[in-house]
Amino acid sequence: MKTRGTTILAVRRDGKVAVAGDGQVTLQESVIKHHAKKVRRIYNDKIIVGFAGTAADALNLSERLEAKLERYNGNLMRSAVELARDWRTDKFLRRLEAVMVAVDESKMFLISGNGDVIEPDEGIIGIGSGGVGAQAAAKALVKYSDLDAGSIVKAAMKIAASICIYTNEEITVEEL
């Protein structure tokens, strides 16, 4: 799936995690919104999710993840696996076009409709059109700076916005 119009970045450092998303919404070749919020807190503000893809599909998946979290008492790993299983096998859900990042105080996952539930080795995930650039910038900042997680996602997202035409500098950041 080719996702355009979104960059989401999650970074864990020194026991803290930050998730950032840009605010640009693109329809074909036009920017139609500059201040969209693609990162939000769910499950009593204990989980942060960020999504790339169509907004309605991403919100649907976010609500489904929150229902799984309620069912499994906030266990993010179990909830993510169950959501990915449903997403892959359900006739309706298979059509949803989105990718999610979900984090809590100790876990970080990329969740996709292919059944993927991926926990990164280095505590950094970038998704969406500018995800690779944001992730590369974050890796360099983690290795060569003393910045905290929130500062890293802000700086890395600014770098991604400078090179990705589908990413802007109107960034939303949530931290745990």
Task: Give the catalytic positions in this structure.
Answer: 6
> For 10-28, b where at least 16 C-beta lie within 10 A, e where not — what string?
bbbbeeebbbbbbbbbbee
114/96 Cα distance (integer angstroms): 11
HSE-up of 19 (CA within 13 Å, CB side)?
27
Distance CA 31, CA 121 (A): 34
What's the token pair of residue 105?
A: 């105080």
Sign of the dihedral through C-alpha 161, 162, 163, 165: positive
Q: What length is written for the chain?
A: 176
